[in-house]
């Protein structure tokens, strides 16, 4: 996933300084997010300020159980801010009436830099990503029109609706746009790794060795700085016989897409267990052992991957944890929803 002095500044120096600060913020693009490192690529999707009205509305909707059939499940039920917007208490997502999904709920951050969403890439934008779980029978199981009706009837949304639309009700497109703005502006960029890239910190010996191993074994799929190319890959996970998942093939019907899934980011892994599309691994060491000596070793054709390498790589992966991000109050449940 940042100096004070008691000395007084002479007035002749103070006012030019204020002028520079004013100009800096005056010409900072309104859609930009100041947490984004300058070395990052340009995002594919538009960013908004996290104090924008649409962001605030999207945040309310994200935490509101009204948009589920039995009013018990929200987006945050599976995507919890303290766990990098993933879940940690079960391998597969849980929906209304204790229904069990077929996949592990993925972490949500830095999505503005990706072209496709969800494990199989079925959503081509964040609006679709928001609508699919709302209407999916194993998740929230509510037609979007009904979800919008519930929101429009809730007094807590009156002010937010007027601020965003200058009207008194939301359309399905409005609701999905608000959720889109919120999730696209969930950004993790303040980990130790990011500080090292910015020249504000240094890796220790194990972290440095692990970084070198990462560049040899992992970077082709988990590319810097986002730690994912956003592409799809087959990582040689054995098929689960009781719940076979053919991955992207179900979307494209192309044989070449069998058993391939979206490559997740390596950021915030300490918070977002379990791992893989079906949550089969509960620890990072299990994941690395899959690649070191299990079926996943076929993925790598570079130098041998030893236990010492594994420990060093883990040390590096821990530098990708962003505690500032998971504690950021801007992403927590808003007071309007919490106080209901």
pLDDT of residue 297: 64
- Which of the 8 DSSP states describes residue 107? P
> Is-same-fold flag (53-188+329-338; 192-321)?
yes
pLDDT at residue 255 tops 70 = yes
Where does the pLDDT of residue 254 fall: very low under 50, low under 70, confident under 90, or very high at 90 and above? Answer: very high
Give me the residue spans of the domains in the chain: 53-188+329-338, 192-321
Judge whether residue 263 has pLDDT over 90.
yes
Pure H helices in 27-108: 53-62, 75-78
Domain 53-188+329-338: which topology?
A: Cytochrome Bc1 Complex; Chain D, domain 2 (1.10.760)
- Whether the per-residue pLDDT at 17 is higher than 50: the answer is no
Helix (H) or strand (E) holding 122: none
Residue 156 burial by Cβ neighbours in a 10 Å radius (0-12, 13-18, 19+): middle
Return the pLDDT at 11. Answer: 41
Say if residue 274 is preceded by a cis peptide, omega within 30 of 0. yes
Mean pLDDT for the chain? Answer: 89
CATH no. of 192-321: 1.10.760.10
Token pair for residue 45?
């999707």
**Beta partners for residue 123, in sequence order:** 117
According to DSSP, residue 104 is labeled P
Query: Helix axis angle, 126-135 relative to 144-153, nearest 10°?
Result: 90
Average the pLDDT over 280-290 and give the result. 94
Q: What is the mean pLDDT of residues 12-19?
A: 38
pLDDT at 63 over 80: yes
Q: Is the pLDDT of residue 131 over 60?
A: yes
Flag whether pLDDT at 327 surpasses 90. yes
Highest mean predicted confidence (pLDDT) among 15-19, 36-40, 151-155: 151-155
> Does residue 232 surpass a pLDDT of 70?
yes
In this prediction, residue 3 carries a pLDDT of: 33
pLDDT on residue 33: 56
**Which residues have a Cβ under 8 Å from the Cβ of 177 and sit 6 or more positions away?**
54, 58, 127
Q: In whole angstroms, how far apart are CA 265 and each of 189, 191, 222, 312, 334?
A: 12, 13, 6, 19, 27
What is the b/e burial string over 282-302, where b = at least 16 CB atoms within 10 angstroms of the residue's CB?
eebeebbbbbbeeebeebeee
Whole-structure pTM value: 0.87
- 8 A C-beta contact, residue 184 and residue 194: no
Rounded CA-CA distance 174/129 in Å is 14
Spatial separation of the C-alpha atoms in residues 251 and 120, rounded to whole Å: 7
> 1 falls in which pLDDT band (50, 70, 90)?
very low
Residues 314-330, mean pLDDT to the nearest whole number? 98
27 vs 56, higher pLDDT: 56
């Amino acid at each position: 996933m940042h100096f004070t002095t008691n000395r007084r500044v002479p007035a002749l120096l103070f006012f030019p300084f204020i002028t520079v600060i004013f100009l800096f913020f005056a010409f900072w693009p309104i859609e930009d997010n100041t947490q984004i490192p300058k070395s990052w690529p340009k995002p594919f999707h538009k960013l908004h300020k996290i104090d924008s009205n649409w962001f605030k509305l999207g945040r309310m909707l994200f935490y509101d159980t009204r948009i589920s059939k039995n009013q018990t499940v929200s987006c945050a039920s599976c995507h919890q801010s303290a766990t990098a917007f993933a879940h940690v208490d079960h391998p597969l997502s849980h929906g209304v009436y204790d229904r069990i999904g077929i996949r592990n709920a993925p972490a949500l951050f830095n999505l503005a830099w990706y072209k496709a969403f969800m494990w199989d890439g079925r959503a081509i934008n964040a609006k679709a990503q928001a609508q699919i779980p709302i209407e999916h029978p194993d998740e929230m199981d509510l037609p979007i029109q009904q979800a919008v009706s519930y929101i429009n009837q809730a007094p807590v949304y009156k002010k937010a609706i007027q601020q965003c639309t200058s009207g008194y009700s939301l359309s399905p497109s409005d609701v999905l746009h608000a959720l889109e703005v919120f999730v696209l502006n969930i950004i993790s960029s303040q980990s130790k790794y990011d500080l090292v890239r910015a020249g504000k910190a240094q890796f220790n010996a194990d972290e440095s060795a692990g970084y070198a191993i990462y560049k040899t074994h992992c970077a082709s799929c988990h590319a810097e700085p986002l730690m994912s190319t956003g592409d799809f890959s087959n990582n040689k996970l054995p098929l689960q016989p009781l719940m076979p998942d053919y991955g992207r093939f179900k979307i494209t019907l192309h044989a070449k897409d069998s058993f391939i899934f979206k490559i997740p980011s390596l950021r915030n892994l300490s918070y977002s267990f379990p791992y893989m599309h079906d949550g089969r691994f509960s620890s990072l060491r299990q994941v690395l052992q899959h690649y070191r000596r299990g079926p996943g070793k076929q993925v790598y054709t570079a130098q041998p991957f030893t236990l010492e390498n594994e420990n060093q790589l883990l040390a590096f992966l821990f530098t990708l944890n962003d505690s500032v991000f998971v504690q950021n109050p801007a992403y927590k449940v808003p007071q309007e929803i919490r106080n209901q």
